[in-house]
Amino acid sequence: MLMETDTPGAATEWRRHYMLPIAAALGYATSVIHIYGLGPYIQPISDQFGWTRTQVTVGLTLSTLVQAVFSVPIGLMVDRLGPRLFGLVGVLLTCGAFALLGTATGSPGQWYLLWALLALATLPVQATIWTSAVATRFEASRGLAFAITLCGASIAVAIFPLMGSWLIGQYGWQRAAPIQAAIWAACSFPLIFLFFRGARDRRRGEAETANAAAPAIGARLAEGVRSSIYHRLLLASLLFTFTIIALVVHFVPILTDRGADPMRAAGIASVVGLCSIIGRLATGLLLDRFRGSLVGAGVFLLPAAASLLLLGAGNNVALLIAAAALIGLTLGAEVDVIVYLTTQHFGLKTFGGLYGGLLMALSVGTATGPLGASAIFDRFGNYAPFLWITLVLMVGSSLALASLPRPAFARPRGH
């Protein structure tokens, strides 16, 4: 068990580094602009080029698979070099690559090339970068700090569908993509430049704080990878993202297929983002107070209830909003839980490398889930079979977390 007597309390951590999780949240939102911002573009791209939805979303699959392959190497590099440089360069590259999607000509080869560029551009902004900086600055209040950081995805879900839908309506989808990218870069990069710095991103001549100077404690990479605990976290990550990311990416098409106009569908979809902010903050507070595996197991069941509502809601707006809220509450918990449990079970010694492996599973789920949902729609003409699959996979993900033992590197309660 780690000894925590020399570490600062929660109030001290927030007084010193209150802007770091906010800046990291903006960076994390940038890392998913191509995921949560894609929904409003699916139908107009499909209509203009005569593509199936599988053809439109396969680029997302290719992009996230590339991220999966490089997750562990990037994590190991962050362990050695610190996250700041990765984040600064990655934000600019990612926004630039998203803007280039607007240059699509209808050639499938060119479309895949644009997504290949986006895949490479997003490597320096993956979740490892943002969470590793926060982990080095926060310990007593790490759950809440992670929650605020990962609210970046909640911001993305709340803002990007609405922004994209409005811009597409005003300018067409090909002009909307670069405008959306430019607006987001202008809003996010200055704050990231000013405030995003972890303990390993030391200013020239800056004295290390006692907390930053302390050697990281935890499991070695090989030891962690062999652990059955790590294998259960991998399984939970894969099953969860396969379903939840597909639900989010296809939520606007699910509603428009039922007759909702695009702006109303985007408005309902924004509830996912708003509720995910609540879900992340509430989960962060719960993780700081209760056993993380049980907190995660509980919230991972919410998409199953959301799927049942979507299966039976028809055009009932109230039920559709309720389904969006349940999806959002869980979307606000998934990465928070996995990141937190990684630090609790394996410490910080090789956090970047170990979380990089888990990010690989998260990326594979992200890559295959939306594509799987697209393929099911193209085959059956609706999303109902995928919603039933969601029920089964979310139960499996919840059980994987519930089976975890008590963590070895947890901070004692009350400190």
DSSP 324-379: HHHHHHHHTTHHHHHHHHHHHHHBSTTHHHHHHHHHHHHHHHHHHHHHHHHHHHHH
Question: Over the stretch 295-349, which tens digit does the pLDDT of each residue have?
Answer: 989 888 888 889 889 888 777 888 888 988 999 888 767 778 888 898 888 887 7
Q: Compute the distance between CA of residue 135 and CA of residue 145 in angstroms, rounded to an integer.
A: 8
The residues spanned by each domain of the chain are: 17-198+220-402
Q: Compute the distance between CA of residue 353 and CA of residue 221 in angstroms, rounded to an integer.
A: 7
More confident site: 26 or 162: 26
Q: Compute the distance between CA of residue 40 and CA of residue 323 in angstroms, rounded to an integer.
A: 19
Q: Compute the distance between CA of residue 150 and CA of residue 162 in angstroms, rounded to an integer.
A: 20
The answer to whether residue 12 scores a pLDDT higher than 80 is yes
Helix residue ranges, H only, 101-209: 108-121, 127-137, 142-171, 173-195
Specify the amino acid at residue 193. F
More confident site: 318 or 207: 318
pLDDT at position 220: 81
More confident site: 192 or 284: 192
pLDDT at position 79: 78
Q: Compute the distance between CA of residue 19 and CA of residue 21 in angstroms, rounded to an integer.
A: 6
pLDDT at position 415: 46
Evaluate whether the domain defined by 17-198+220-402 bears CATH number 3.30.1490.270: no
